[in-house]
């Protein structure tokens, strides 16, 4: 009996040792092989010279908007969030963040490093902890709410789980992931791979939904051409939850194409003719260098849309003296009576454009890669209005038809400042395009969508 107890005791000890060994084997410690290599490549090696000082000032002050107004409290769940608005009259930032504003702001950070405005060390801390914030925020199948509280990161205004604003954010994350490499790349790419593009997609109708609220479900469709080109690219490149080429093909088939005139070439207009719809996806993807399977260039499409916007502005001068060949690019913005989404130019596919004399600064400035001379001429004209300038460059919009003194916005909207900044940088150096096009998911999307180089 004693011998049995003794043997049993040794067996139990041996089993304990084996269990500890097994635990050690099952839980290996992280190694350097789990982390991508640091990227030390520089991208801003050739910067255009002789550029208007107004453009350079708007560019640098635009960067300061994103860098200075972000939540920098490391103890806050909302670290890195960037306000949707800044009031230039009171000098205060809003308490609500747009996730799209963060996407633009992240994209701006590599530029800030290579322009000498911030150090790489400062940038790395800001970027990494911002991505951690988004890792910890409320998500629905990988997507984020459109508007969140600046401090808590929680949903506000019963806003939607936004596919397009999540796409803008993740574009920024992919840019910084590629730019820095290492832990930042690992986290950024993980956030991207967790987005379930196929969940936000109606496979029966072959279209992305436009919005989702947990209280009411999905609403609307991205059924025709607009700013959502980025969705087809991001979804096609996903290694985890992809959506294939068919969605892009159907979108194009569903879209109306305006005939050419003596003022502009044929192009696909958008529902309201807001010029931002021809800009947003182009801020990251280099459409100038690629055409689709039919040889169609979305870059040329935007050039023609800009030409049409300028031609339309000339027809409005007798009604609204503040709209003319050097004041154009009507687009969603604040107006004298509040925010108006359908501000735009004709022709619009829905004939839904609203014109009341309001012109946003970003409409022309965000078109600088398409028609540089016209864009710069507009910016220089806008700068003649002292009331249109602020600590962070141009304010949102102005309207000379409103009252005898005209109306000038108090607010700067983050996404407006963002598209201006990114497009100016692409005009100056193509830096954003060069980084983004190196992301492996984007290269995969090019293959899936059957895009090809425009000048092979």
Q: Would you say residue 31 has pLDDT above 70?
A: no
Distance CA(406)–CA(306), nearest Å, equals 25
The model's pTM: 0.93
At residue 121, the pLDDT reads: 98
At residue 403, the pLDDT reads: 86
pLDDT range class, residue 33, cuts 50, 70, 90: low
Question: Where are any strands of DSSP class E within 76-129?
Answer: 85-87, 92-93, 96-98
The string of pLDDT tens digits covering residues 137-189 is 999 999 999 999 999 999 999 999 999 999 999 999 999 999 999 999 999 99
Distance CA(155)–CA(401), nearest Å, equals 37
The string of pLDDT tens digits covering residues 296-306 is 999 999 999 99
Whole-angstrom CA distances from 24 to 29, 31, 33, 242 are 9, 15, 19, 36
Q: Which residues pair with 339 in a beta bridge?
A: 334
Q: 286: cis peptide before it, omega within 30°?
A: no
At residue 433, the pLDDT reads: 98
Contact by Cβ (8 Å): 63, 111: yes
Q: Would you say residue 324 has pLDDT above 80?
A: yes
At residue 123, the pLDDT reads: 98
Contact by Cβ (8 Å): 418, 100: yes
Mean predicted confidence (pLDDT) in 116-126: 98
Distance CA(161)–CA(143), nearest Å, equals 6
Hey, what domains does the chain have and what are their CATH numbers? 51-195 (1.50.10.10), 256-456 (1.50.10.140)
The string of pLDDT tens digits covering residues 329-345 is 999 999 999 999 999 99
At residue 179, the pLDDT reads: 98
The string of pLDDT tens digits covering residues 377-391 is 999 999 999 999 999
Q: Would you say residue 5 has pLDDT above 80?
A: no
Mean pLDDT of the chain: 94
At residue 32, the pLDDT reads: 57
Q: Which residues of 25-34 are buried (b: 16+ CB within 10 A; e: fewer)?
A: eeeeeeeeee
At residue 29, the pLDDT reads: 42
Query: Of all residues in the chain, what percent carry a pLDDT higher than 90?
Result: 92
Mean predicted confidence (pLDDT) in 201-228: 98
Distance CA(364)–CA(374), nearest Å, equals 8
């Amino acid at each position: 009996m004693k011998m049995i107890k003794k043997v049993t005791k040794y067996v139990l000890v041996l089993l304990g040792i084996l269990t500890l060994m097994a635990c050690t084997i099952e839980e290996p410690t992280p190694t350097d092989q789990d982390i991508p290599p640091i990227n030390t490549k520089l991208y801003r090696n050739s910067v255009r010279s002789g550029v208007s000082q107004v453009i350079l000032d708007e560019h640098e002050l635009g960067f300061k908007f994103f860098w200075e107004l972000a939540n920098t409290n490391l103890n806050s769940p909302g670290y890195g969030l960037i306000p949707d608005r800044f009031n230039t009259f009171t000098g205060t930032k809003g308490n609500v963040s747009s996730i799209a504003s963060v996407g633009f702001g992240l994209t701006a950070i590599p530029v800030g490093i290579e322009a000498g405005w911030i150090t790489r060390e400062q940038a790395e801390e800001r970027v990494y902890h911002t991505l951690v914030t988004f890792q910890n925020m409320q998500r629905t199948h990988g997507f984020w709410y459109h508007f969140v509280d600046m401090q808590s990161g929680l949903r506000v205004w019963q806003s939607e789980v936004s596919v397009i604003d999540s796409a803008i954010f993740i574009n920024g994350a992919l840019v910084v992931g590629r730019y820095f490499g290492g832990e930042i790349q690992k986290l950024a790419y993980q956030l991207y791979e967790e987005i379930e593009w196929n969940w936000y997609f109606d496979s029966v109708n072959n279209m992305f939904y436009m919005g989702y609220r947990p209280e009411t479900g999905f609403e609307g469709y991205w059924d025709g051409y607009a700013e959502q080109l980025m969705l087809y690219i991001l979804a096609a490149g996903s290694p985890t939850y992809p959506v294939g080429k068919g969605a892009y093909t159907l979108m194009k088939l569903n879209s109306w194409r305006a005939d050419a005139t003596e003022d502009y070439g044929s192009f696909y207009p958008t529902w309201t003719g807001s010029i931002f719809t021809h800009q947003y996806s182009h801020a990251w993807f280099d459409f100038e260098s690629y055409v689709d399977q039919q040889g169609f260039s979305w870059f040329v499409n935007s050039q023609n849309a800009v030409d049409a916007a300028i031609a339309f502005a000339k027809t409005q001068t007798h009604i609204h003296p503040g709209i003319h060949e050097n004041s154009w690019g009507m687009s969603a913005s604040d107006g004298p009576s509040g925010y108006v989404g359908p501000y735009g130019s004709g022709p619009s596919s829905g004939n839904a454009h609203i014109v009341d004399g309001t012109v946003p600064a970003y409409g022309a400035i965000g078109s600088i890669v398409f028609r540089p001379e016209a864009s710069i001429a507009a910016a220089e004209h806008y700068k003649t209005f002292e009331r249109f300038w602020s600590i962070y460059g141009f304010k949102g919009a102005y309207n000379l038809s409103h009252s005898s003194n005209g109306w000038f916005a108090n607010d700067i909207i983050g996404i407006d400042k963002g598209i201006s900044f990114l497009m100016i940088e692409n005009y100056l150096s193509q830096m954003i395009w060069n980084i983004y096009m190196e992301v492996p998911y984007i290269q995969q999307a090019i293959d899936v969508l059957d895009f090809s180089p425009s000048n092979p």
